[in-house]
Amino acid sequence: MKVGVLVTLYGFYTDESGNNGFGDLRNQPVLCYAGILVPIHYQIFLHNEVQKIKDNLEKDIKAKIHGIPVDQFSTIDFFKKFEIHGKAFIDGEDFYYNLSDVERFKVVNDLLSLANTTDVKIVAAITNKQLYQTNTGDTNHNRMHIHSYTELVKCISSELGNSDSYAFIICDDGKPSEINNFCDALSNPANTRVYPDLQVKLSHDKNCNLIQLADMINFITSIHFRDVYGFPARKRHQSQILDFYSRHLNHKIIKWEYK
**CA 188, 193, 195 angle in degrees (round to 5)?**
70
C-beta separation of 112 from 216 below 8 A: yes
What is the helix (H) or strand (E) element at residue 35, kind and residue range?
Answer: strand 30-39
Q: Tens of pLDDT along 120-164?
A: 999 999 999 999 999 999 988 888 988 999 999 999 999 999 889
Per-residue buried b or exposed e for 85-99, using 16+ beta carbons within 10 Å of the residue's own CB: bbbbbbbbeebbebb
Output the pLDDT for position 121: 96
Q: Tens of pLDDT along 10-43?
A: 999 988 888 878 888 888 999 999 999 999 999 9
Output the pLDDT for position 202: 42
- pLDDT at residue 108 above 90? yes
Q: Flag whether the pTM goes above 0.85.
A: yes
Output the pLDDT for position 203: 35
CATH of the domain spanning 9-258: 3.30.420.10
User: How many angstroms separate the most distant Cα atoms in the chain?
Assistant: 64
Output the pLDDT for position 196: 80
CA distance 101 to 220: 16
Question: Which phi and psi (to 5°) does residue 250 adopt?
Answer: -55, -40
Mean pLDDT on 108-127: 96
For residue 94, CA distances in Å to 30, 65, 72, 79 come to 25, 12, 17, 11
CA distance 238 to 226: 10
- pLDDT at residue 76 above 90? yes
